């Protein structure tokens, strides 16, 4: 049985729910969130806060069946479901079905342990789609196999999540050796571990690389979990962690058509101090512009992160086969490539991105 207590002196209603949980609901919050103040179709808030006095007062609070019923000094009556009030206790974040958990990995996650699903299942089944997204969020890395030899096949799977993120490289991009490349990915040289497009205000969220051909000698894929590197750095070298998570540095990509610049910290933490994002890309690191007095210690920290991310202790490596697609969280997992010899065979990956926003939205909708 839920109990309601009107605390006029504190201008709050206190609730003790039947499971023992308690909630403190300021009068103004209750009036601001009157269910009648939301549009019935769009669910958007239409009530206007400026029409509510800041010192508005509840005069009576009653539990009626499964609702809290309030009477206000202006004789308005409002009503809230207790379940809704329990889910929205001030001071507690709303449960988020898009946060399904992250597990960092190191070289102990051998290539065979990378989550693997079949394209046909993910295309046909929402349950398989959800399994795939949860696995991809957990490890930041997964493989889809069984893709037909069709340029659109990988894109079709990515679009099960949502629309693609366009960038200056297009809505999709072709990773193969090209004449006059504007990006190192389009050469046959080795690509050291990096995250993509750290020069963008919002680097792309999830990256999809559909392997159409990988017949050349070399060209294996490398991955390391930037969150694992950051976690270990936090423990082993707190000074380096502090520098990389507080000092922003410039990134820049420029070619004939674009000049896109952004500053980023190598390690971005969220408001609770948890790891949110890794931005690491030596190719498009612009000219370091921080205070020269800070440079010796910053370079040491940055170079330590770089060395750790490449250490075999953190690496998972495998060579993609035609019909496979690798998916990774581009804001967490660093990826790289061994050099390949374009004279020994053809190598062609087709890529695209879907941002975190669409990925998380899909997880929430699938959890309904």
Under rule CB under 8 A, which residues in 34-63 are in contact with a second copy? 39, 41-46, 48-50, 54
Q: How far is CA 73 from the centre of its chain?
A: 45
* C-alpha radius of gyration, the chain, whole number: 26
Of 2, 7, 17, 26, the residue at the interface with a second copy (CB under 8 A) is: 26
Query: Binding to a second copy (CB under 8 A): which residues in 101-120?
Result: none
Instruction: Kindly give the pairing relationship between strand 141-145 and strand 116-118.
Output: parallel
Provide, rounded to whole angstroms, the least separation between the CB of residue 297 and a second copy. Answer: 10
Beta-bridge partners for 15: 4, 23
Please list every residue from 137 through 176 that binds a second copy, using CB under 8 A.
163, 165-166, 168
Contact between 91 and a second copy by CB under 8 A: the answer reads yes
Would you put residue 26 in left (φ > 0), alpha (ψ -120 to 50) or beta? beta
Chosen residue from 103, 282, 321, 344 binding a second copy by CB under 8 A: 282
Site membership for a second copy, residue 239 (CB under 8 A): no
Least Å from the CB of residue 124 to a second copy: 19
CA distance 280 to 318: 21
Q: Which of 288, 321, 341, 344 binds a second copy (CB under 8 A)?
A: 288
CB 351, CB 121: distance < 8 Å: no
Both ends of the chain: CA-CA distance in Å?
27
- What gap in Å lies between CA 279 and CA 234, rounded to an integer? 16
Pick the closer one to a second copy by CB: 116 or 361.
Answer: 361
* Nearest distance in Å: CB 308, a second copy: 11
CA 180 centroid distance within chain = 33
Count of positions (residues) in the chain: 368
To a second copy, the closest distance from the beta carbon of 86 in angstroms equals 12
DSSP 46: -
The span from the CA of 131 to the CA of 126, in Å, is 9
Nearest distance from residue 323's CB to a second copy, in Å? 29
Binding positions for a second copy, 179-218, rule CB under 8 A:
180-184, 186-187, 189, 192, 200-202
Nearest CB to a second copy, comparing residues 324 and 358: 358
Shortest distance, position 228 Cβ to a second copy, whole Å: 19
| Coil, helix or strand at residue 161 | coil
Q: For tokens 């002196």, what's the residue?
A: 9
Q: What character string, x for contact with a second copy (CB under 8 A) and - otherwise, covers 256-275? A: -xxxxxxx-------x----
**Which of residues 37 and 146 has its CB atom nearest to a second copy in the complex?**
37
Integer Cα distance of 173 and 339 in angstroms: 19
Among 332, 307, 356, 358, residue whose Cα is nearest residue 196? 332
Write down the least CB distance from residue 252 to a second copy, Å. 8
Q: Are 226 and 268 in contact (CB under 8 A)?
A: no
Specify the 3-state DSSP secondary structure of 66.
Answer: coil
Burial of 115 (0-12, 13-18, 19+ CB in 10 A): middle
Q: Which of 116, 138, 310, 319 binds a second copy (CB under 8 A)?
A: 310
Q: Applying CB under 8 A, what is the total number of residues that bind a second copy? A: 85
Minimum distance, C-beta of residue 46 to a second copy, in the bound complex (Å)? 7
- The one segment of 104-112, 121-129, 234-242, 352-360 that binds a second copy by CB under 8 A: 352-360
Near a second copy by CB under 8 A: residue from 57, 106, 283, 348: 283
Shortest approach of a second copy to residue 8 CB, angstroms? 14
List of residues 6+ apart from 93 with CB closer than 8 A: none
342 binds a second copy (CB under 8 A): no
Structure tokens at 25: 């609901």
Would you say 89 or 319 has its CB closer to a second copy?
89
Q: Quick one: which segment of 105-113, 134-142, 150-158, 287-295 binds a second copy (CB under 8 A)?
A: 287-295
């Amino acid at each position: 049985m839920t109990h309601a207590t009107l605390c006029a002196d504190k201008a709050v209603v206190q609730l003790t729910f039947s499971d023992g949980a308690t909630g403190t609901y300021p009068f103004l919050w209750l009036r601001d969130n009157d269910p009648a103040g939301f549009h019935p179709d769009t669910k958007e808030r239409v009530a206007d806060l400026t029409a509510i006095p800041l010192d508005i007062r509840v005069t009576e609070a009653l539990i009626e069946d499964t609702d809290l019923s309030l009477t206000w000094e202006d004789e308005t009556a409002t009503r809230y479901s207790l379940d809704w009030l329990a889910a929205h206790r001030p001071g507690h974040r709303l449960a988020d079905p898009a946060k399904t958990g992250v597990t960092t990995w190191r070289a102990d996650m051998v290539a065979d342990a990378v989550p693997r699903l079949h394209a046909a299942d993910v295309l046909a089944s929402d349950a398989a789609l959800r399994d795939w997204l949860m696995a991809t969020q957990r490890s930041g890395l997964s493989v889809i196999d069984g893709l037909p030899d069709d340029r659109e096949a990988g894109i079709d799977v990515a679009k099960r999540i949502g629309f693609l993120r366009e960038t200056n490289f297009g809505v999709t991009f072709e990773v193969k050796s090209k004449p006059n490349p504007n990006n190192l990915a389009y050469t046959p040289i080795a690509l050291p571990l990096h995250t993509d497009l750290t020069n963008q205000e919002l680097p792309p969220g999830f990256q999809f690389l559909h392997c159409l051909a990988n017949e050349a000698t070399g060209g294996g894929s490398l991955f390391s979990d930037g969150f694992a590197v950051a976690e270990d750095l936090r423990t082993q070298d707190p000074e380096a962690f502090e520098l990389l998570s507080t000092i922003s540095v410039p990134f820049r990509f420029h070619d004939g058509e674009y000049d896109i610049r952004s500053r980023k910290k190598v390690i971005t933490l969220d408001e609770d101090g948890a790891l949110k994002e890794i931005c690491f890309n030596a190719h498009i690191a612009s000219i370091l512009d921080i205070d020269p007095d800070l440079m010796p210690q910053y370079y040491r920290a940055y170079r330590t992160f770089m060395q750790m991310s490449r250490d075999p202790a953190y690496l998972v490596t495998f060579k993609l086969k035609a019909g496979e697609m690798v998916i990774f969280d581009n804001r967490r997992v660093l990826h790289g490539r061994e050099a390949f010899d374009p004279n020994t065979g053809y190598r062609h990956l087709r890529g695209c991105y879907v941002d975190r926003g669409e990925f998380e939205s899909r997880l929430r909708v699938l959890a309904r």
